Structure 1
């Protein structure tokens, strides 16, 4: 089974590049390597990181931590999905 973990944060206005760099560094520090990962950005200084893992849905998987409070305007949003395949 493939599990996708999604991590989304909204940076303090004007600190989107800082949050993006921080998330990419934390991604490199994860224990273990996902099958795949993707980092995205959006307006309002939002950063999204998706990692795919070969694991059961309820597996204990490494996730990106919460950023420091001075980087974000709210708590990180996290979701877990089971992959149903793709094109």
Structure 2
């Protein structure tokens, strides 16, 4: 995808339909593509506005570590719940 990335300026990614828990939620596919393109396994991904945890989930799926920062306690709890759900769905080899 790196070669294609430089030649195509627009990605087509479906939007998140259920925004009932966070008003600015975006699909995990968006940070997942960026993380895959610009980092290596075990790198650390920093998300300064964690929100619902989409970037952390993308990092987990790409075998990256992450640091998440969020000021609003409501979204801290939401992101923890979403990250825990993602981590519990992983299968260990």
Q: What TM-score do the two structures reach when normalised by structure 1? A: 0.28
Select the structure that is richer in strand.
Answer: 1
- Determine which structure has greater relative contact order: mean sequence separation of CA pairs < 8 Å that are 6+ residues apart, divided by chain length: 1
Greater Rg, structure 1 or structure 2? 2
Q: What TM-score do the two structures reach when normalised by structure 2? A: 0.27
